[in-house]
Amino acid sequence: MSVQERKQRERAERERLIVATARELAEQQGWDAVTTRRLAERIEYSQPVLYSHFRGKREIIGAVALEGAAEMAVAVRAATSAANSPRERVAALARAYLDFAARNPAVYDALFQLDGGLAYAQEDTPEPLKDAFAALLESLGEVAGDSVHPGLFTEVFWASLHGLATLTRAGRLLPEDAAQRVELLVDRLAVA
C-alpha cells in the first residue's frame, strides 16, 4: 500500500469516526449538544482536524443525513421484499418508515428537519437521498392509480408518513393508535 493510499484510508476512517460520534452524541443528547469542540474532545483530535473534513456542523448533519438515507432505503426494501401483495408492501413500507423514524430520531432530524446543506428534489440531489425516495416509489408507484403520477403519489404518501412520525414523536398523537393509523393510511390512500 502506498503512502497516499494509507493517508486516504486514514482520512476516510477519521471521517467515519466524526460522523458516527456526531450521530451518537445527537441521539443521546440532541443536536444542540453536537459542537466541533465536543466532537474533537470525544474523538481525541483537534478542532482543525475536524475542519479539515467538514466546514462545520451543517456539513456533519448532512453527512449523518446521507448515511441515514442509505439505512432507511435498506430498511424499507427489506420490509417490503417479504410482502406478497401491493397492499402488504405498502403497509410494510409504512411500518418500516415509522419504525426507522422512532428508532433514529437524531438521524431523522438530520434527514428532514435540520439544514445539512443538501439539495432535495433537484438534479444535484445526492444519490443516497434519491435512492431513499426510490425505495418508497418502488412500492408506492404500483398503487398510485392510473390517473396519478407515481412520483407525486409517493410524495403525498411520504408527507403523510412524515406527519405521523413527527406528531407521534412530539406526543401529539396517542401511541396506542399507531397501528390503526397505518392501516387507515394504507386502506384510504393506497388501495390497489
Q: Answer for the pair 145, 153: CB distance below 8 angstroms, yes or no.
A: yes
Q: How far apart are CA 159 and CA 176, in angstroms?
A: 21
Pairwise pLDDT comparison (85 vs 188), residue with the higher score: 85
Over the stretch 73-109, which tens digit does the pLDDT of each residue have? 999 999 999 999 999 999 999 999 999 999 999 999 9
Q: Answer for the pair 92, 81: CB distance below 8 angstroms, yes or no.
A: no
Q: What is the pLDDT of residue 3?
A: 86
Name the helix (H) or strand (E) containing 131. Answer: helix 127-140
* CA-angle at 160, arms to 191 and 182, nearest 5°: 55
